[in-house]
Structure 1
Amino acid sequence: MYIEQAFKSKNNAWRYIIGTIVTIVALFMGQLPLAIAVIFKLGVTADFGTVDEATMMSALDSNLTFFFLLLSFAIGLGALLFLVKNLHRQSFTELTTSRKKIDWGRFWFSFGLIVILNVTLILVDFFFINPQDYTINFNLVPFLILAAIAIVMVPLQTSFEEYFFRGYLMQGIGIKTGYRWIPLVITSVVFGGLHYWNPEVSQMGDLVMVSYIGTGFMLGIMTLMDEGLELPLGFHAANNLVAALLVTAEWTAFNTESILRDVSSPVAGWDIWVSVLVIYPLILLIYAKKYHWKNWSNRLFGKVEKPAIIASNSVVDIEDLSEINGDY
């Protein structure tokens, strides 16, 4: 069982508190390179009290800004994995999955499914439904630079979010509260809530938060039902790569040298509910059929219990728990 993997490691509450704080600090420290670059671009004598976010985001070349934005997540991921290994004595595999080794087939299936789905929906909208909402933005050299940055950095950004929310916090909160639904709710709401400051919310309205929180719940359900992060990692990486490379807009978090540019002024409406209440359940159904998910109630709402091999082995030192290789 995925959450129970944390029982194999050093899992004191104070370790998770320190780990969370240090990871968040590292994430914010990772934003310093962007701030420094903007300072040099605008001039060290600029009055930054009067500089708004839009000015800061447009001060540099869009590809350079994109790189710096994702760099903070790469630094956060590095800090998190360092803490997991050295503070918790937990292996990378145990943070990733309940299986004996990471199932990359699951990752690539999820990645491919979401790429096909997202690209299809966007192209149908572009060619048949709302062609007036798009302009072709393709410029070969800037796009190739963007692609190189995105292929390397976007998976680091999405992996940080998955390992931190659906991995580290899901396991930590799960073993401390003793129930699966509690970390599912907490991580999903916090994950979605942190997107409140995305420019999409300012453009489309607060209703778009339903999509962000709903996405958090879908990814959390994937994690608990499949007992690992492979499917969420593939989903998230594919979703953000398509967003960065195929279509962006002035009002999106990823304002890049994409192939298409959305020039509409959308407001969140019924389409948000269709995504959360129709498309997301269909995606989960595809995964459920392929990977034979069963016992939904226990996997989503059941208790988190220490595996018997650990609970009964009183002579095993806490330092050695990370060496137990049972498949729970």
Structure 2
Amino acid sequence: MFCKNVAQGRNGVIHYIFTILFTVLGYFLGQVPMLLAFNYQMNRHNDIGKNALLKFQENPDFSLFHISSNGGLFLMMMIFIFAFVALALSVKYIHRRSVVSLISNTMKIDWKRILWSTGFWFLLLFIVELLTLVIYPERYTFRKPDSSFFVLLLICIFILPIQTTFEEVFTRGYIFQAVSYNSKSIFWGLIVSIVVFAFMHGMNPETVKYGFWPMMSYYISAAVLLGLIVVFDDRLELAIGVHTATNMFGALIVTYEGAAMQTDSLFLNSKISPIVLALEIIVLGVIFLLFASRKYHWNIKSIDWNCKN
């Protein structure tokens, strides 16, 4: 079982404390390049006001500091690269186990699973967005791509997956396994991973623009879906693919005002409803689970919710 991979390493309370502390430290160290870039731009441009940082916290628009959206996206990704490196090193040297054990129950990453789930979920999102565009065309603004879009595409292919993989490995890999194994219950591992994921995203700027609880309904719906995928498939690759497809779609195809990632996507949606987004996640999630269940021959009724040696 995926949750039993924990038994491969050291699992004292102190090991978990230090791993989480180092991961958080890596997350904050990853913000240093962004802060240095802000400081550099503020020294170069007199028109950047002292309240630019406050405005940025409300709406992460890098143009406030005369930084391109691609440059800003890269700086944001640095945060997760640092955090991922910190987590990986901590798992290897503190827990003394392989990072792959946080992803696969066979100690081999199934890249075909990642590619399939990324492609299929991207297709589902495209179909829904296309229908929405047909029904509410006035909400969408098409932005003709230029050379910067190619750079954005490269970032989304080679760098953005690091961010989504880190979030999955940390919440539905590390946290899920730790809680499931120590509580001897996959149910509690699922619940805690949902709470941690929602809390991590509860600090996003969308919560300011669209309301905390409406956005939380979307985050929790996504967390439940991703958590169930891990429980049913007993490994992490499909969840990584779904999460990656979601962020890639938002960065490349359609973004919206107040989004955590402000990019030069092909379309800008001027009006979204977090509740509707949550309902979309539920409907598309059911479709995904049905197709994945058939493709990977899940036997959901026989799932053992206990995580005992």
Q: What TM-score does the superposition give when structure 1 sets the normalisation length?
A: 0.86
1:23-42 equivalence runs, <5 A: 23-42=23-42
Q: Secondary structure at the match of 1:197?
A: coil
Q: Matches of 1:148 and 1:290 in 2, distance apart? A: 30
Partner amino acid, structure 1, of 2:160: V
Partner amino acid, structure 2, of 1:95: L
Among all aligned residue pairs of Structure 1 and Structure 2, give the percentage whose two residues are the same amino acid.
30
Deviation at 1:296?
4.2
Q: What is aligned with 1:303? A: 306
Q: Matches of 1:284 and 1:55 in 2, distance apart? A: 34
Q: What is aligned with 1:188? A: 194
CA 1:90–1:209: 2 relative to 1, 3 Å: same
Q: Matches of 2:150 and 2:300 in 1, distance apart? A: 46
Deviation at 1:278?
2.5
Partner amino acid, structure 2, of 1:32: V
Give yes or no for the alignment of 1:242 onto 2:245: no
Q: Is contact 1:135–1:261 with CA below 8 Å preserved after alignment?
A: yes
CA 1:278–1:120: 2 relative to 1, 3 Å: closer
Q: Matches of 2:28 and 2:96 in 1, distance apart? A: 25
Give yes or no for the alignment of 1:85 onto 2:88: no
Give yes or no for the alignment of 1:69 onto 2:76: yes
Q: Is contact 2:186–2:307 with CA below 8 Å preserved after alignment?
A: yes
Residue correspondences, number: 301
Q: Matches of 1:195 and 1:224 in 2, distance apart? A: 22
Q: Matches of 2:233 and 2:274 in 1, distance apart? A: 31
Partner amino acid, structure 1, of 2:77: L
2:229 aligned to which of 213, 222, 241: 222
Q: What is aligned with 1:148? A: 154
Q: Is contact 2:103–2:236 with CA below 8 Å preserved after alignment?
A: yes
Q: Matches of 1:99 and 1:55 in 2, distance apart? A: 40
Deviation at 1:202?
2.4
Q: What is aligned with 1:312? A: none
Q: Secondary structure at the match of 2:159?
A: helix
1:110 aligned to which of 103, 117, 131: 117
Q: Matches of 2:279 and 2:90 in 1, distance apart? A: 39
Deviation at 1:100?
4.4
1:98 aligned to which of 94, 105, 127: 105
Q: Is contact 2:34–2:76 with CA below 8 Å preserved after alignment?
A: yes
Deviation at 1:50?
6.7
Deviation at 1:154?
0.8
Q: Matches of 1:90 and 1:70 in 2, distance apart? A: 26
1:160-179 equivalence runs, <5 A: 160-179=166-185
Q: Secondary structure at the match of 1:258?
A: coil
Q: Which has the larger radius of gyration?
A: 1
Q: What is aligned with 2:7? A: 7
CA 1:120–1:189: 2 relative to 1, 3 Å: same
Q: Is contact 1:192–1:214 with CA below 8 Å preserved after alignment?
A: no
Cα distance per residue 1:168-206 (max 9 Å; x no partner)? 111111211111111110111220122122232223222
Q: What is aligned with 2:165? A: 159
The answer to which structure, 1 or 2, has the higher relative contact order (CA under 8 A, 6+ apart) is: 1
CA 1:219–1:268: 2 relative to 1, 3 Å: closer
Q: Matches of 2:201 and 2:7 in 1, distance apart? A: 31
Partner amino acid, structure 2, of 1:107: I
CA 1:131–1:24: 2 relative to 1, 3 Å: same
Q: Matches of 1:268 and 1:162 in 2, distance apart? A: 22
Q: Is contact 1:96–1:228 with CA below 8 Å preserved after alignment?
A: yes
Q: What are the ranges of 5 or more consecutive residues in structure 2 without an aligned counterpart?
A: none
Give yes or no for the alignment of 1:203 onto 2:212: no
Q: Matches of 1:216 and 1:113 in 2, distance apart? A: 18
Q: What is aligned with 1:309? A: none
Partner amino acid, structure 1, of 2:33: P
CA 1:267–1:122: 2 relative to 1, 3 Å: closer
Partner amino acid, structure 1, of 2:306: K
CA 1:268–1:8: 2 relative to 1, 3 Å: closer
Give yes or no for the alignment of 1:124 onto 2:127: no
Q: What TM-score does the superposition give when structure 2 sets the normalisation length?
A: 0.91
Q: What is aligned with 1:19? A: 19
Q: Secondary structure at the match of 2:232?
A: helix
